[in-house]
Amino acid sequence: MNRIVPWEKMLAKLSRHYPKASPKGGRPAKPLEVMLRIYFLQNGFNYADLSM
């Protein structure tokens, strides 16, 4: 996956749209790279959310 996906470029473009920590509190978001890797694995191997 590291050879195929240009992580630095993708993270740079998507990070401005990904939620940041809110001053209101709440659960912090998972890191963007982790979420993208899970998403790609789900689509590539046809896994459900619970499988991941």
What is the Rg, in whole angstroms, of the alpha carbon atoms belonging to the chain?
A: 13
The 10s digit of each residue's pLDDT in 1-52 is 899 999 999 999 999 999 887 788 888 889 999 999 999 999 999 998 887 7
pLDDT the model gives residue 7: 94
Q: Return the percent helix, strand and coil in the chain, to nearest 5.
A: 50, 0, 50
